[in-house]
Every structure is written in C-alpha cells, then in structure tokens.
C-alpha cells in the first residue's frame, strides 16, 4: 500500500525488452535500505524490485508485464532512458498517512486537456476513461502518476485539479504538458460507495 506522497523523482537508466520489459531506475534511496521483492510505486504503478546496485548511481530494477504496459501510461508514453518518474516506497506500519490509501494498481489512463496558472498554483483539466468517470467526485481523491490529489470539479468525463508550487517542484508534474497520458487510480472508497449505491438501487 502507498499514500500518494511522492518521496523521490527517479530516472530511467536503461530498458530491456525480452518477453516482459525490465527497467533500471536511478533513485536517491540507498539500495541498502531496499529489499529484493520490495514494492515501489513508479508513476503510480506498483512494481517489484528484482535487482539493486550503486554504480554509476543508486539504482533498482523492475520487471513490467505486457498486461501492465497495456493498461498504464507506459504503453502510451513509453519508458526511455532519461524519463523521470515519481517514486514512492511502500507504506510501513507507523508511517504518517499524508495522502490517501493508494494500492498502486492503475485503473486506467487519463489525458491532460489543459493547463492554466491560477495564482501560485497550476490548474489541470484531465479526461478520464468513460468507465471510470463515475467514480470521480468533487472533493474526492485520485492518484495521478502516483500523486495523491483532490478533485476540484467534475464535468462528465472531465475533471480538474490544482497543483501547488511545492508539488510541481518535488514531482514530475513540473514538466506536464497538454496531451500527456497520466496513470489514474481512483479512490477505493469511491468504488465501494458506487457499488453500494448500485446494490441499493
């Protein structure tokens, strides 16, 4: 489990395709503190660490299945050397829950429709896949590229968020552009509420 609070911005160092995809990702985290088999959310995708190293910089490797590639922004944007990724290590007992409960299981891919400055913040409007739009509610939570964010408003499939300057600085959101594909994980509670409403109706 994760919280959607990004703890590092990593960088893809190398990618291999042999059946599944293997990616080597640079990180500021000390490999000595990461276990083989540990889960790390990479742009919101929960991936398992399969190798670790320190040269020429701290890195870990993950294997990514074809299924994961097809259901996430990896299949749209691709992961090439140099790509920056929001990273979050798995939640541990006793950790502060600063965002909301995030599983790292991406539900679909949203598209960035527009960007606009609003004071010191940046307003972003995105379009969700039709099958997920009903789970997104004003003032509810979503995880976008692994970042816990609050929904401002919803208009059909489109929804808006605001990114404060701090978020833009410490995540990959500072480089967001119109047309970008973004990993979307809806709030688990929203899914349960919708299910209960359907059962009651």
**Full pLDDT tens readout for the chain, 201 residues:** 898 999 999 999 999 987 789 999 999 999 999 999 999 999 999 999 999 999 889 999 999 999 999 999 998 888 999 999 999 999 876 666 666 788 999 999 999 999 999 999 999 999 999 999 999 999 999 999 999 999 999 999 999 999 999 999 999 999 999 999 999 999 877 776 766 676 665
- Within a domain: 32: yes
Whole-model pTM: value is: 0.91
- Within a domain: 22: yes
Cα gap 50→101, rounded to integer Å: 25
Measured over the CA atoms of residue 37, residue 88, residue 45 and residue 28, the dihedral's sign is: negative
User: Are residues 84 and 114 located together in one domain of the fold?
Assistant: no
Indicate the number of domains in the chain: 2
50: domain CATH number is 2.40.30.20
CB 45 within 8 A of CB 10: no
Final residue of a structural domain among 89, 123, 139: 89
Query: Phi, psi (5° rounding) for residue 120?
Result: -90, 0
Domain that holds residue 38: 8-89
């Amino acid at each position: 489990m994760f919280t959607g609070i990004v703890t590092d911005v990593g960088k893809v160092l190398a990618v291999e395709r042999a059946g599944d995809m293997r990616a080597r990702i640079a990180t500021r985290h000390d490999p000595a503190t990461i276990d083989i088999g540990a889960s790390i959310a990479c742009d919101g995708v929960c991936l398992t660490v399969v190798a670790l190293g320190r040269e020429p910089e701290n890195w870990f490797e993950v294997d990514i299945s074809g299924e994961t590639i097809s259901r996430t922004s990896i299949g749209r944007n691709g992961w090439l050397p140099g790509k920056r990724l929001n990273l979050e290590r798995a939640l541990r007992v006793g950790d502060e829950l600063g965002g909301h409960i995030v599983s790292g299981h991406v539900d679909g891919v949203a598209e960035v429709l527009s960007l606009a400055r609003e004071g010191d913040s940046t307003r972003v409007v995105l379009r969700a896949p039709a099958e997920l739009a009903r789970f997104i509610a004003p003032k509810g939570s979503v995880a976008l590229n692994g970042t816990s964010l609050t929904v401002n408003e919803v208009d059909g499939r489109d929804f808006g968020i605001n990114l404060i300057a701090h978020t833009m600085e410490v995540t990959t959101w500072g480089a967001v552009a119109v047309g970008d594909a973004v990993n979307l994980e809806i709030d688990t509670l929203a899914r349960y509420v919708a299910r209960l409403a359907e059962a009651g109706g």
